[in-house]
C-alpha cells in the first residue's frame, strides 16, 4: 500500500508513474485542493483533475493541465460576450467542472472524485486532502492574492512571501486519508511545489502528524525532488525558493521536509550537490511522457522496497 501526496503537474505525473507499476487498489493519491476555486459559477479542482486526467491517460502532455485534443469554442463564445478570458476552460474540461458543480449539491468532493475515477476506469484511489473548502491565498510583495490570480493571471510574477490557507483550521482530512496513511507501507511526496502543493496537504489538521507517526513506525517517507539542476521542471518552485533566500537544491529540500521525510530521490544533474544525511537515490527524475512516468515510478518503488525494515 503506497500513499502519494500530490499537487500540480509533477504530482499528477508521479502518481501516474506509481499507478503504472502497482496493482489496482495498492495506491492512494492524496491531492491538494488549496488551488480549488469557483469560476463562472463552476467548482474547479485543478489538481484533482490533473491527477484524474493523467491516471486515465487523457491529459495534455504539453500544457501539463487539461485534456489532450482540447477545443476552445466555449472560450471563444465567452470572449465575444465580454466574459473573463484569463483562466482557460477547454470544451472537454468544461464537462468535468459542470458535472462536479452539479453533483456537489448533494455529494462531497470525495464522492464526486470517486465517481469520476470509477467512470474513467482508474483502479486506484484518488482522495482530495479535504472535503471542506481550503483556499490558498498567496502573500506577495503586492499583497494577498487568491491562488489562481497569483498563479495563472499574474503568472507567479509577484514575489512570494508566504501562504495563508483560508479554512484550514476547521478542515478535516477527507474520509480515507488518515486511514490510508496509517496502513501505508510507504509514503511518496511527489515532485510537486513544496510550498504551493505539498504544504497545504500537510497543514490539514491531522495529516502531517499521521505522516510523522508513519515515519516513527518505520514506514519510509520518500520525497522526490521537483528540482533538476537548480530549476523546477514546471512552475515557480525554484523562483519561490530564491525569493525566500533558499537554493533549489536537494539539501535545501531535505531541510524543508526535515520533519517527516526519511529519504530523497534526486536527479542525476544534482548528484554533485551537497547531499543531506538521509538516504538519497540518484536517477533521471524528468518525466517526459507516460514511459518516463512509469520508469520513475518503478525506480521510486525499488528504492522504497530497499528502505523498508
State the Cα–Cα distance between residues 244 and 253, nearest whole angstrom.
13
Q: How far is the CB of 62 from ligand FO1 (least distance, A)?
A: 12
Q: Does 46 bind ligand FO1 (CB under 6 A)?
A: yes
- Could you tell me the smallest distance in angstroms from the CB atom of residue 40 to ligand FO1? 11
| Member of 8, 220, 248, 250 binding ligand FO1 (CB under 6 A) | 8
Strands (E), 176-252: 186-189, 221-224, 227-228, 231-232
Q: Is 220 in the site for ligand FO1 (CB under 6 A)?
A: no
To ligand FO1, the closest distance from the beta carbon of 84 in angstroms equals 11
Q: Tell me: does residue 35 bind ligand FO1 (CB under 6 A).
A: yes
Of 103, 88, 117, 116, whose CA–CA distance to 43 is shortest?
Answer: 103
Q: Is residue 148 near ligand FO1 by the rule CB under 6 A?
A: yes
Q: Does residue 7 interact with ligand FO1 by CB under 6 A?
A: yes
Looking only at residues 242 through 301 of this chain, which bind ligand FO1 when binding is defined by CB under 6 A?
Answer: none
Shortest CB 244 distance to ligand FO1, Å: 19
Q: How far is the CB of 69 from ligand FO1 (least distance, A)?
A: 15
Q: Which is nearer to ligand FO1, 33 or 262 (CB)?
A: 33
Element (H, E) at 195: none
| DSSP calls for 13-53 | HHHHHHHHHS-TTSEEEEE--TT-EEETTEEE-HHHHHHHH
Phi, psi angles (nearest 5°) of residue 67? -100, 155
65 binds ligand FO1 (CB under 6 A): yes
Element holding 192 (H helix, E strand)? none
Residues 77-96 that bind ligand FO1 (CB under 6 A): 87-89, 93
> What track of x and - describes contact with ligand FO1 for positions 155 through 184 (by CB under 6 A)?
------------------------------
**248 vs 246: CA distance, rounded Å:** 7
Phi, psi dihedrals of residue 263, rounded to the nearest 5°: -160, 160
What are the DSSP calls for 113-147, one per residue? HHHHHHHTT--SEEEESBSS--EEEEEETTEEEEH
Query: Among residues 231 and 268, whose Cβ is nearest to ligand FO1?
Result: 231
Chosen residue from 19, 49, 238, 240 binding ligand FO1 by CB under 6 A: 49
186-189 β-sheet, strand order: 125-128, 27-31, 2-6, 186-189, 221-224, 263-267, 280-283
Q: Is 200 in the site for ligand FO1 (CB under 6 A)?
A: no
Q: Which residues bind ligand FO1 (CB under 6 A)?
A: 7-8, 35, 44, 46-47, 49, 65-66, 87-89, 93, 148, 151-152
Amino acid at each position: 500500500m503506497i500513499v502519494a501526496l500530490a499537487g500540480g503537474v509533477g504530482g499528477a505525473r508521479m502518481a501516474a508513474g506509481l499507478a503504472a507499476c502497482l496493482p489496482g487498489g495498492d495506491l492512494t493519491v492524496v491531492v491538494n485542493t488549496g488551488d480549488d476555486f469557483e469560476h463562472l459559477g463552476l467548482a474547479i479542482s485543478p489538481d484533482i483533475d490533473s491527477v484524474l486526467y493523467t491516471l486515465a491517460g487523457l491529459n495534455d502532455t504539453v500544457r501539463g493541465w487539461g485534456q489532450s485534443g482540447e477545443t476552445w469554442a466555449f472560450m471563444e463564445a465567452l470572449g465575444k460576450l465580454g466574459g473573463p478570458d484569463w483562466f482557460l476552460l477547454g470544451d472537454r474540461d468544461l464537462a468535468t467542472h459542470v458535472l462536479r458543480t452539479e453533483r456537489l449539491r448533494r455529494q462531497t468532493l470525495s464522492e464526486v472524485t470517486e465517481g469520476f475515477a470509477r467512470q474513467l476506469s482508474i483502479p486506484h484511489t484518488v482522495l482530495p486532502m479535504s472535503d471542506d473548502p481550503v483556499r490558498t491565498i498567496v502573500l506577495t510583495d503586492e499583497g494577498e492574492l487568491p491562488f489562481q490570480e497569483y498563479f495563472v493571471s499574474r503568472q507567479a510574477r509577484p514575489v512570494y512571501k508566504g501562504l495563508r490557507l483560508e479554512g484550514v483550521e476547521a478542515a478535516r482530512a477527507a474520509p480515507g486519508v488518515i486511514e490510508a496513511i496509517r496502513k501505508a507501507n510507504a509514503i511518496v511526496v511527489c515532485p510537486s511545489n513544496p510550498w504551493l502543493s505539498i504544504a497545504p496537504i500537510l497543514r490539514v489538521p491531522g495529516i502531517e502528524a499521521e505522516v510523522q507517526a508513519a515515519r516513527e513506525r518505520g514506514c519510509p517517507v520518500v520525497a522526490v525532488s521537483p528540482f533538476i539542476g537548480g530549476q523546477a521542471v514546471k512552475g515557480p518552485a525554484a523562483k519561490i525558493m530564491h525569493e525566500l533566500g533558499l537554493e533549489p537544491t536537494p539539501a535545501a529540500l531535505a531541510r524543508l521536509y526535515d520533519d517527516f521525510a526519511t529519504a530523497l530521490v534526486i536527479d542525476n544533474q544534482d548528484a554533485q550537490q551537497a547531499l543531506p544525511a538521509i538516504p538519497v537515490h540518484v536517477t533521471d527524475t524528468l518525466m517526459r511522457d507516460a514511459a518516463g512516468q512509469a520508469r520513475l515510478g518503478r525506480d521510486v518503488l525499488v528504492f522504497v522496497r530497499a528502505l523498508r525494515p
